[in-house]
Structure formats: C-alpha cells, structure tokens
Amino acid sequence: MKIFITILLAFGFLSGAKAQVNGIVYGAVEKGKRIPLYGAKIRLLKGDGRAISKEDGTFELILDKKQLPDTMIITAMGYNPDTVAVTKKDRFAAFDITLYSDQLLPEVIVAAKQESKSILRLKILAIENLSQQELRKAACCNLSESFETNVSVDVSISDAVSGAKKIQMMGLSGIYTQIQMENIPYLQGTETPFGLMTIPGTWVNSIQITKGSGTVVNGYESMAGLINLTMNHPGTMEKWFVNAYTNRFGRAELNANTAFHLNKKWSSAWMAGASYLPREFDDNGDGFMDLPKTLHAGIFNRYAYEGDKMEAQIGWNGYLHDMVGGQIGYRGVETDTLFGVQNVSEHLDVFAKTGFFLKKPLHSIGVIYNGKYQRMGALFGNRNFSALERRGYINAIYTGIIGSSIHTYKLGVSGVYLDLDQKLNALDASRVEMVPGTFGEYTFEGVRMSVVAGARYDYHNLFGSQFSPRVHTKWKLSERTDLRVTAGRGWRVPNFILDNLSLLATGRDWVAPDTLLPEISWNAGGSIVQRFNMKNGGGSLTVDYYHTRFMRQLIIDRDANVSAFVFRNTEETSYSNSLQVELAMPLLKNFDVRLAYKWLDVKAVFNDELQRTPFVPTHRGFVNFAYKTRNKRWEYDLTTSVFGPARLPVAMLPDGSETTNNTSSAVPMVSAQITHVYKRWEFYLGGENLLNYKQANPIINAENPFSSTFDATRVWAPIIGSNVYLGVRFTIESKEEEDESGY
C-alpha cells in the first residue's frame, strides 16, 4: 500500500497526453436556417479519433496531442463532406460546423467561431468563460482590472488609502469565492488583501467563472462560486509578446512573455511583469494620496513535458509588491505626524502537475502539488501588522469509467498544510492547520440529461470533521435550450484580520470574536440558457438564480458600536439571493451587444436587526457594445454599468454625532477602448470612469487621522476621476502557428 501511495504522489495526471474537441454539426436547409445533424461522422485524417454526432448535433472527439496538427473530416448522408484543421491551439475548443446539401453547388462553408465570452455549452456546470479576446477589451493590466466587461463579478476598492481591491460574487465578499490557478487554490491567506493586483492580465489565457458550489474535486471552500485562471501555456502561447501601458496618473506597466521548445518533449514559458506609480496626487484636496505609490515586479515560469505515456508541468511564481499611501508627503516610516499606509509582500510559490494514462482505456491517475511562502508587512497609521505564511497543498485523483464514457468516476485524496504566523500589534492570531480529505464523484452523461454527484470528507486538526455533498444536473430541453441546477455545501476557516485588513484604515477599535469557528453555507440555484439565430449571427439569453444560506457566518457588525468593529459568529439567519439576466446578440455583422441586469438581496443580523449587508447595491444594470471592422483592423468597445444605491454602515462624525444619511447614491461607470491592429502591432487607447463620477469626501475626519472618528473605509464609489490610458502590444507567433496559418 505504501508503495502504491508513493507512486500515486510521484506520478499524477495533469490534463493528459490527450486533448478534447467538442462541437455541433448542423445541416443547412434553406435561407440561412439549419438543423442539428444526428449521426454525422467525424474522424481524424491522421489520428485514430472517431465520433458520431448525437441527436442535438453535438460530438466529442479525443485527440492525441502528439499527432497535432491534424484534420477533422466531417461526413453526413445527403450532405457534402468537409474538413476542419485542428491545431494545438484548438485543445478543448468548441466548433460550430455547418454542412451543405449535396443537391446544391459543391461549395461548402464551415464556420468555427469562438466567442470572447460564453457559457460553455457542453459542460454540466454553468461555466462562464472569458477568453483572452474578452480580457483585451480593457487595459487588463492586472487581475483586478480583468472583470470590467463582466457583470457576474463586481470589483471595488476596499478603502480610500491603501488602494486594495476586492471582488464580490452574488453579493458576497470575495472570501467566499474560491480562486484557483489551473485547479490549484490561489490568492489565499496573506494574498487576500492585495493579491488581485499581483497577477498581470497578460499572463492569463482565459478565466472560467462558476456560480454556486463547484465540484468536490476542487475542494471544500467554494461557497459563492469559483474563479479559475488558465495561464498561458508554452504549447499554445505566442513566441514573443510585449505589452506596454501608461495612464494619466503616471502609472507605467511593462509585460513580456516568451515560449520556446527545449527539445521534442520539453517546452518552457517565461512571463514577467512590472508596474510603477511614483507620483503623489490629491485631486479631492483632503490631504491624502488618491492612489498609493506602487512598485510591483513579478515573474512566472513553467515547463511542460509531453512524453509517450506521461505528461507533466512544473513551474514557479515570485513577486515583490511595495505600496505606500496615506497623507501627502508620507515616505513609509511610522510617525505620529503623518498617517501612512504601507504594504510590502515577498511571495514565492512552486507547483507541479504530473500524470500518466493507465493501460486500461480512459483510466488515469493524477496529482497536483503546490507550495507557497509569503512574508508580508503592513502599516496603517500606528497599527503594525506582520505575517509569514507557509502553505502546502496536494490533490491526487484516480479517474475511470464504468463500462463506457457515459459513466465516469473520480476518487481522490487531498491535503492542506498551513503554518500562519500573524500579529497585529499585541494581538497574536497565529495558527497551524492540517486538513486531510478524501472525495468521490460520479458523472453520468446522457443524451438529454447529465449529472455530476459527489461528496467529500475533510478532517481539520482544530475543528474536526466536515462533510460536503454536492450535485449538479444539466438538461437539454431542446437543441437550443439548456437548464442547469446545482446544490451543495461549502465551508471555510475565516481569518478575521487578513480578510478585513483594510478596516485598519480607521480609528475604530477591533472587538475580536470569542472563538474562531468555521463558516458553513448551503448553496442552491440554477440557470437556463436559450440560444437563438439572428440575421447577423447567433444570440443567447441567460437567466440564473442562486440562494446561499449560512449556517454559521463571521460578520463584522459596524452598526452595533460606532466606535468599534465587532466580530462575531452568528447563528442567526444570514443569506444571499442573486438573480441575473443577460442578453447577448449581434445587432449588425461584427457588431455585438450584451445587456444585463442583476438583483441582489443580501442580508444578515446587524445591531440585533436583520438588514441589508453594507456596500451591496440591490440593482445593477450593464451594457456592452463591441464592434470590429470587416478587415479586423479596428476594434471598438464601450461598457456602461449603473450600480444602484446601497446601505452604508453607521459612522461617527467628528462632533460626536452619528451619520443620518446611510444610503449611497447610484453610481454610473462608463469605460471605452479603441484598438488598431497593424500586422504584429496593436495600439490601444481607452478611458475609465469617463463620466468623472467621484465620491465626495470619502474620508471622515481626514484632518485628524489619528483620532477615534477617522474612517477611510466608508467608500462606495470611485475616489479618483476619469482615467485615460494608452498602450501597445507586439506579438510574434510561434513558428508552428505561422506555418499553420500560411504566413
């Protein structure tokens, strides 16, 4: 048994030496109308892959990546056959294929269009995919700026002095959304306050957003949703890529990526990024920097191995992040005369993914490893916080089938080790966590209905046993209508200091919880996607609703005591309801529009009363226009969001009275970008907050920052005005891609 476990941990499965292509085969009937083709045959010209389309025209084809590029041959009785080239860049791609009747002229058109943002139709879970094309619609210099054209994830600043940003999904804080880097838990612990700003957007190939609880394979912490980052891979990324950016505030950014083959089996990718903002400015005249001075430098390096029976990846990521904010003239040294904010983080993590297929077809073993080291120091006025995190993670998975690929299962074990030293002045909140776990998952994929059902058991050395069942179901109601339903349990151990570090930007005291208990939630909901054809292309209408109810939640009661933040574990009702409607359609050829509306009902008990959670707007409207010229030389994008009013917590004013206006105003946000493509060059010019909307007086009692009534956390709108930026991208494709494209 020990020998087997050793082998399991030494050799695992990353994503396999295989790749998977999905698609739908249609038959053209008349005047632009088409029907899904049942029984169409798809085969590879060189490889052994074979598939037959189902009743709704869908098919799945397994590819051997070693034999790529290859050509798919599509045939169907009564239709002219055709071919589609498949390259390594098309791994896991979805093709939209149209065959024409053999009674027509022998001209056949095959269309394969990848949308920049879409719900992955062939997945059982409702997964929203943001491609690199979507990410480039905005400046996207770091991860916190990657969701400007997305309505599912809300990004806002945490306070008016540190520059930290936070996300919300379904109206719940980002701590309830599990962020992963290619299925590895990421941006946890010491990275919670500032981690979103440490990953350049140019490193990211795509982002997958899942609402509700994810699968048990991904862990136990997905409570409101899951965001998975797919990083650039040496086998599919450009040979050289450079991005340079600057904006009106003096921020300069430079990113460079490169990929190359070491030999026939090994390839490597290097990605580096640096950002620098040296300037102090105070447009609102409150004596505080509107943006902190920042220096960030990071590097990401990975190696990929593709052998005959084994595939592996290893890599590492390191960065240095130094930020200084606060009153004008502050230089990063603790003083009683100037209120300053400083954060210095040193980060290093390593990961490995190794895998091989077993002799039994479609059976495999896989292991993911990750180790992290981060040292962090933060200063808020005269409050000093320091942390040292050492984390280890392992996830081993056995995948197999029962009879055929219709019935598949996964069995696995996982382990988390966390050694966290953290101190806030005299408060010591250090701890060591060890969480071994085991899980099992069964998947059934039928013609109309598919199900993923699983459960996991974890044992926490401090809090004992935890059981997490989850189920996801998908029904194909018609060839154009998909219904998905999900339900599951999630839990996490809160870290009340790091989760709320920005609250140090006040004069309030902290009342720590009596005991630290795991937060537990149940999530249930679903979505329906209706696709339709229009004259200029396909459109879709997506409606989703999710309910999250906490059995136990650590809340920050800002209303019970206006001179202190009270942290307490609540057994009372605490919940979130989220409804989102999104319509995507082409108004004209190459002119797409997305309209969305989101309604949030998020409540908890504050000051002994069930009321709305602060800073969560009930309503949000969204519209995005995207136009690309026929020659693809010019691209235009315009995004407008309107955030409705939100409840604000009660705060104390300098004269000792309490605030009476505890509701924010509606916040309009407009951004736009123009991109010009010239051969290998892309020049882009854009603007953010183009209506120049700013919150007046975002800091309470800015004249006395060391007083008990100072508060820089009551922020609900931008504190800086319009931002104009410009940049340039330069790309050299790999030789293989150039050969395949004919250049």
pLDDT in tens, 613-659: 999 999 999 999 999 998 889 999 999 999 999 999 999 999 989 99
Number of folded domains in the chain? Answer: 2
Cβ atoms of 715 and 700 within 8 Å: the answer is: no
Percent of the chain at pLDDT > 90 equals 67
Q: Which domain holds residue 312?
A: 119-741
In 514-644 the beta strands, taken as DSSP E runs, fall at: 519-534, 537-557, 564-570, 575-588, 591-606, 609-612, 619-628, 634-643
Q: 543 and 567, same structural domain?
A: yes
- Residue ending a domain, choose from 114, 136, 168: 114
Q: 342 and 222, same structural domain?
A: yes
**Is a pLDDT exceeding 60 seen at residue 742?**
no
Quote the pLDDT of residue 58: 86
Q: 73 and 154, same structural domain?
A: no
Task: Tell me the average pLDDT of the chain.
Answer: 89
Q: 88 and 32, same structural domain?
A: yes
Q: Is the pTM of this model over 0.75?
A: yes
Q: 606 and 593, same structural domain?
A: yes
Q: 664 and 581, same structural domain?
A: yes
CA torsion, points 136, 186, 277, 689, in degrees to nearest 10? 50
Q: 124 and 84, same structural domain?
A: no
Quote the pLDDT of residue 91: 61
**Is a pLDDT exceeding 70 seen at residue 419?**
yes
Quote the pLDDT of residue 390: 98
- Residue ending a domain, choose from 51, 85, 114: 114
Compute the average pLDDT of residues 163-184.
Answer: 93
Reported as a single tens digit per residue, the pLDDT across 702-721 is 999 999 999 999 999 999 99
Reported as a single tens digit per residue, the pLDDT across 585-612 is 999 888 999 999 999 999 999 999 999 9
Q: 159 and 46, same structural domain?
A: no
Q: 150 and 101, same structural domain?
A: no
Quote the pLDDT of residue 16: 44
Q: 83 and 123, same structural domain?
A: no
Non-local (6+) Cβ contacts of 307 within 8 A are 17, 265
- Residue ending a domain, choose from 71, 93, 114: 114
CA pair distance 356, 17, nearest whole angstrom: 8
CATH number at residue 6: 2.60.40.10
CA pair distance 329, 682, nearest whole angstrom: 38
Quote the pLDDT of residue 101: 77
Cβ atoms of 615 and 648 within 8 Å: the answer is: yes
Q: 169 and 102, same structural domain?
A: no
